[in-house]
Amino acid sequence: MAQQTIVQLLDDLDGSEASETIVFGLDGRTYEIDLNDKNAAKLRKALAPYVDKGRKLSQARGGKRTSAGRTATDGDTAQIRAWAKENGYKVNDRGRVPAEIKEAYGKAKAS
């Protein structure tokens, strides 16, 4: 039996369809938010003066973390997306990879 999972990102501010997931940090905590193009532009514009004057941290110090606590790399995400597509999952080319797809990928690789 075939199964197809469709994931649709919704803008966390207004509920419209989101176009991307933005990861940002403040006070030692990392956050991610799904936003449409308009809201993403507003966030970037609001943060621009601070980003321009701030110091960029290395990945080791400010890297994106997964729920398992290890640093996620673009390669991991690309591999998960490729595996998901090959195994009948619908996954966007950008944005957050849904937890159920990451979990299925982990189980498939463990067996």
What would the pLDDT profile of 5-36 be if each residue is shown by its tens digit? 888 899 999 999 999 999 999 998 999 999 99
- 12 vs 35: CA distance, rounded Å: 6
Reported as a single tens digit per residue, the pLDDT across 49-84 is 999 999 887 755 444 444 444 444 445 888 898 899
Q: Fill in the amino acid letter for 14.
A: D
Domains in the chain, CATH or no CATH each: 20-110 (3.30.60.230)
DSSP helix/strand/coil, 73: coil
